[in-house]
Structure 1
Amino acid sequence: MPSQSYLALPLLLGQVVAVRMEGRALDLGTLVAVQLFGVLDQLFIVYANDWADQETDRHNRTATLFSGGSRVLVEGRLSARALGRAALVCAGALLAVSVGLAVTRGAPLLVPLAMAALALLWAYSYPPLRLSYRGGGELLQMVGVAGVLPLYGYVAQGGEPGRFPWALVALLLPTHLACSIATALPDEPSDRETGKLTLPARVGGERAAWGIVALNGLTLALAPWGLGAVGLSAGTGLLVPAVATLAVVLVRPAPPGSRLIQVRVAAAIIATLATVSLPLLGLWGS
């Protein structure tokens, strides 16, 4: 469950943005249902990805807490059939939650957004697109986490789609792309061996690390505009993602399989989660 924070915070941010912009109280029942959607979506992603990547994971000798799959299929702790069924159950459950929310909240847009979340994972891991193996998988992760999830939370809490602050999404997109690249860093050897075209596998870990820094730098540059879209200003809190971003390249050498690669990935994750947390905390306290 370590990756649940990637989904939970953007969903919560979208909800808080909605209630602040609409001037209403946070509906607690909706809050619980939306965060349940996030748990089901995350489990669907993990189960379906493990099923699709089982051959690649068998070649992986550098897996970490942040990457390499859950290893349950590789270690024979579950069958592929059981994991596939679990993925389908979670997909059905998250659609059911979305239909229920769409009806009770009068927000039909939630159903296509849920279907988009499922479609992004399918395009990421499964034929005919299978973009994680052809290049572009990181972009799909970015769109899902930084775009679909905040909008889902926003609409669920009664936000008007036409007033959604896209500038805030523009702020979040680069850092989430950086995070998706970072979590692929430890898997570089097995990804290259099996033809999975992640950015680290294509350009190497050190070049990818500098790409992470550049993307987070873009997010920091966009911060005044993105935060201003929701009535916030850029403050000293941005030092947290800035320092974490510097750590990505200062922690070196960090080859796959080393302890330092885990520190590097953790630093990139902290930079992204801190960036999401800043507007969330700012709006929550306003």
Structure 2
Amino acid sequence: MKERGALLRSWIQASRLPSQSYIALPLLLGQLVAVRARGETLEYGTLVGVQLFGFFDQLFIVYANDWADQETDRRNQTATVFSGGSRVLVEGRISPRALGWAAVACAGALLTVSVGLAVAQGAPGLVPLALAALGLLWAYSYSPLRLSYRGGGELLQMVGVAGVLPLYGYLAQGGSLGDFPWLLALSLLPTHLACSIATALPDEPSDRESGKRTVPVRLGGEGAVWAIAALNALTLALTPLGWAAVGLTVGWELLVPAAATLAVLSLRPAPPGSRLIQVRVAACITATLAGVGIPLLGLASR
């Protein structure tokens, strides 16, 4: 019984469940945009299906990334709750074979859910979007591209979270591709890029040693922080246009991501391995999630 409990805890650790929010919120935003544009309400069966797709997508991402990055993660002495992998392979708590097969199973599950939704909703575009989600992770972590090591991995994360996911939710709830509010997606791209850079800040020493060309490795920690702040500022500047595309107006709510961005700049010195860097990363994540969550709440209240 104790061994089963320990194994369950190991799988929960490997699953990194708090990061489900990165996936769930953009999917929900896309769904609400679709139904509010038509003056309708969410189809709850579709809602469950879309969020189930997101559940399997997040698990696929964390399991597949852990498998691909296990050697770099072994070098990592500055891992945090936000970065450095789940550590289950490093600590020998789950075998690489088991984690690899779990990633394959999750990939199959998200494709199965997508095919079912595509048939049920008459939305064939969901299947190529699901394949795109898998392809982005493959290009991020695996040969021949392996862009997280060669440079450009942050851009792939941005496209997936701010582009593919909202569009997936939108099409699933009956939205038309021609009516998708591209300005809203455009306004969210910079902050999601900032977030992907921020989560790499704590791993800069081991990434540098492994030859992983993340933005913090190329610009240095403080240089990356200034890039994060500039990207979040760009999202703040684009937000009025993005929100107007879905019938929302900007109010005091923007103080939340603005304050979080200021915190990212002011929390220094914050070298990898320090407690302060975790607060800095948390502040950047807050700015990004607020950028998605605030319009989501606005649409939900209409």
The TM-score range, normalised by the shorter chain, is: over 0.9
Tell me the equivalent position of 1:82: 98
Tell me the equivalent position of 2:276: 260
Q: Displacement, 1:102?
A: 0.3
Greater shift, 19-28 or 51-60, is seen at 19-28
Aligned equivalents of 2:191, 2:85: Cα separation in 1: 22
Aligned equivalents of 2:55, 2:272: Cα separation in 1: 29
Aligned equivalents of 1:214, 1:202: Cα separation in 2: 17
Tell me the equivalent position of 1:72: 88
Q: Displacement, 1:169?
A: 0.3
In structure 2, give the amino acid aligned to 1:44. Answer: F
Aligned equivalents of 1:223, 1:163: Cα separation in 2: 19
Among all aligned residue pairs of Structure 1 and Structure 2, give the percentage whose two residues are the same amino acid. Answer: 77
In structure 1, give the amino acid aligned to 2:103. Answer: A
Tell me the equivalent position of 2:243: 227
Q: Displacement, 1:17?
A: 0.2
Q: How do residues 47-126 of structure 1 correspond to structure 2 at under 5 angstroms?
A: 47-126=63-142
Q: Displacement, 1:193?
A: 0.4
Tell me the equivalent position of 1:154: 170
Tell me the equivalent position of 1:189: 205
1:217 is aligned, of 229, 233, 250, to 233
Q: Displacement, 1:25?
A: 1.8
In structure 2, give the amino acid aligned to 1:231. Answer: G
Aligned equivalents of 2:85, 2:38: Cα separation in 1: 40
SS in 1 for 2:149: helix
Greater shift, 132-141 or 17-26, is seen at 17-26
Unaligned ranges ≥5, structure 2: 1-16
Q: Displacement, 1:223?
A: 0.8
Runs of 4+ in 1 over 6 A off after TM superposition: none
The alignment yields a C-alpha RMSD, in angstroms, of: 0.5
Aligned equivalents of 1:139, 1:214: Cα separation in 2: 16
Deviation digits for residues 57-105 of structure 1 (CA, Å, limit 9, x no counterpart) = 0000000000000001000001111011000000000000000000000
Aligned equivalents of 1:2, 1:168: Cα separation in 2: 25
Deviation digits for residues 252-284 of structure 1 (CA, Å, limit 9, x no counterpart) = 000000000000000000000001011101111
Unaligned ranges ≥5, structure 1: none
Aligned equivalents of 1:98, 1:23: Cα separation in 2: 25
Deviation digits for residues 129-154 of structure 1 (CA, Å, limit 9, x no counterpart) = 00000000000000000000000000
Q: Displacement, 1:109?
A: 0.3
- Alignment length, in residue pairs? 286
Q: Displacement, 1:211?
A: 0.5
Deviation digits for residues 19-60 of structure 1 (CA, Å, limit 9, x no counterpart) = 001222210011011011111000000000000000000000
Tell me the equivalent position of 2:221: 205
Greater shift, 83-92 or 18-27, is seen at 18-27
SS in 1 for 2:42: coil
In structure 2, give the amino acid aligned to 1:15. Answer: Q
Aligned equivalents of 1:24, 1:188: Cα separation in 2: 47
In structure 2, give the amino acid aligned to 1:266. Answer: A
Deviation digits for residues 237-261 of structure 1 (CA, Å, limit 9, x no counterpart) = 0000000000001000000000000
Aligned equivalents of 2:166, 2:88: Cα separation in 1: 31
SS in 2 for 1:261: helix
In structure 2, give the amino acid aligned to 1:252. Answer: R
Aligned equivalents of 1:25, 1:254: Cα separation in 2: 45
1:8 is aligned, of 16, 20, 24, to 24
Tell me the equivalent position of 1:130: 146
In structure 2, give the amino acid aligned to 1:151. Answer: L
Aligned equivalents of 1:85, 1:227: Cα separation in 2: 41
